[in-house]
Structure formats: C-alpha cells, structure tokens
Amino acid sequence: MSPQSYDIVAYQEQDHEAVCKLLVESFKAKFQALVTLEDHFLAFAQQFTVESGFHALTLHVAHQNQQAIRLYHNLAFEIEQSQYNYWRHFWFKEPVWHLMSWKERNCIRGENSIEKNI
C-alpha cells in the first residue's frame, strides 16, 4: 500500500469564493429536500390528528427561528403564546419560545375537545 500524499497550496481569495459558492449550492439542494420532507411530515401529522379524533397539533418554535415560523404559518399554524423558558434557555441558548398550534378548520371547540401535542 502506498501512503497518501497531501499537497499544500497557497490560499487564493478567488478559490475561497468558488469553494463557498459550490458548498452553498450543494447545501441549498439538500435544504430544499428537507423542507419538502418536513412539509409532507406535517401534512401527514395533520391528517393523522383529524383521523384520530383530535383537533389540534402544537409545537414550540424558537423566536429567532423566523424561517420555521414562516413555514408553520404557511401550514396554518398560529402563535398561541410566547414566553421565556429557563430550561430551554439553559439547554438551547434561546430565551423566548413560541407555542404554535394548528387546529382542525371544521372543529367545533367545546369542553370535551382534546388537544394532543405531537
């Protein structure tokens, strides 16, 4: 077996920009695939919720994650409340979290309605 060899090349600014652009394009495609997967998962969760007799889905989203908030708004989730949470701040370094919920559009809310976190 022959040992691996490494070439050390002087840093060039134009090389750095080209590599960054290549990485961004590569990750952009992967990110779009993840967003599509998340859309399908949430659509499945919403359908499962309705078919199971539940009327709402809830989730927590970090205030600084505006891209996720927009995504969930597009999927008919609304912010129910925002609050500081010590433990989420401690563990995730994010002080403010939003409780977002999706409610079945045709659901009549009453005393016997059930909400389930997924």
Question: Of all residues in the chain, what percent are helix, strand and coil, respectively (each to 5)?
Answer: 45, 20, 35
The least confident of 3-7, 18-22, 105-109 is 105-109
**Mind listing the pLDDT tens digit for each residue in 17-43?**
776 676 667 766 666 666 666 667 777
The reported pLDDT for the residue numbered 91 is 87
Is 0.85 surpassed by the pTM of this model? no
- The reported pLDDT for the residue numbered 113 is 38
Q: What is the mean pLDDT of the chain?
A: 75
10 Å CB burial of residue 86 (0-12, 13-18, 19+) is exposed
Domain parsing of the chain, residue ranges:
13-103
CATH superfamily of 13-103: Gcn5-related N-acetyltransferase (GNAT) (3.40.630.30)
Sign of CA dihedral 8, 14, 15, 19: positive
What pLDDT is stored for residue 106 in this prediction?
Answer: 43
Q: Band of the pLDDT at 52, cuts 50, 70, 90?
A: confident
